[in-house]
Amino acid sequence: MNPFKIAIIGCGTVGGGVAKIIKEINSTLSDRAGKLIVLDKIVELNATVAIERFGIDKKHFCGGGEDLSAEEAANYIKDILNDPEISIVVETVGGTSDFVHDLCVGICKSGKHLVSANKALLAERGKEIFKAAEENNVSIGFEAAVCGAIPIIKTIKESFSGDEITSVSGILNGTSNYILSRMLDEKLDFDVALKLAQEAGYAEADPTLDINGGDAAHKLIILMKLVFGIDVSMEELKFQGIQNISATDMAYAQEIDSKFKLICYAKADGSSVYGTVAPMMVKNENFLSDVNGATNAVRTINRYSGKHILIGAGAGSSETASSIVADIMFIARYNDRMNNALLNKKLEFKDLSQFTFPYVITFETEDKPGITGLVTTEIGKQDVNIFTVTHNRHVSESALFSIETQPCTLEQINAAIERIKTQNILKAEPKVFPILY
């Protein structure tokens, strides 16, 4: 068999998992690829820790398994990029720094294939990386960047290449889903559920990107590029997190046969693509309402083949590593026939404020007679039909209630809220949640 040599830059949680899989099932991988899969070089600053943690032979590490300085690591990376025998480089350093961006561009310009799980980098700074890959006739594997072990990238690029995807939605962040599941099942406040997620290892010490919707936004940007061929920036994509969801909000969702989920949603409509990341009340009839814990799920609706659902582990060392190894295998087998070109349709991105959705609006007002009628009247004046109004909850001197609307635009709802604010009856900013059927 011809050798297919691999270098890994960064041997932490994910990179170490990749090396471990390659060593443990090397003969199986080689048989599947039709080439001898060879783990050739690893560059890692804390090599001694990686060797002990993952049981990797120190012979694979640049520097003989000793810890490296940043300067030493940079020199070894140059050697890898100049080595004509190395076919593919796995980047598992992470982050969006100039160093990592330039590293990925450099890998492609050196004529080597690139595999990365770096969703933030590809979402925010991927344009130049893909351009370098195209100009140098190399492939980029990024399956692990979206939903870990779920093969959504290959499904879209390969299995659905004979169809047209009209919408993609799903639960793309396991940490937020775990928190919301604990809040619902155990009637917990957000802060308590977050602490439990951190203790269970699902949330980082700094969980900001998970709970504010940023991580999910990175993944949706990649999917929109892949599905619709549009480049959307983090500034353009409106995203919200789950940090402001309360136990009371959870109770309102249950009243309308729904559960809260952090949803990524993008849909093509004519010449426009609408997209958002937001906590939504997902109706119990929608399968996403039953996706609990740290599980991820993606739903596509296709023009010809209808609805498709993929569910699985969205994170974790071995899960993410398995997707990276799958990309390595795919490139080893088909690199001379692979095509990086993403769609380039003439579509305009718009945020969800102009798209019709049913919504739930929750209000905290003064506890006086007639206020519910006043609120519903102002909503009606914006040509918004009301589906139902929940009963009032009385807390201290406040009344809490929610209104479920028929499909309308967020612009209409915001206009109604501005009118209601002039009445000086609100004791808190209203919360607005889309409803997903």
**Catalytic positions:** 219
Burial of 168 (0-12, 13-18, 19+ CB in 10 A): buried
**Torsion sign (Cα): 104, 224, 150, 138:** negative
Identify any residues that bridge with 348 across adjacent strands, giving them in sequence order: 272
d(CA 39, CA 20): 10
Distances from the Cα of 147 to the Cα of 140, 315, 365, 378, angstroms? 17, 7, 40, 42
Beta carbons within 10 angstroms of residue 223's beta carbon: 26
Half-sphere exposure of 413 (CA within 13 A, CB side): 26
Q: Comparing C-alpha atoms, which of 93, 101, 92, 153 is closest to residue 128?
A: 101
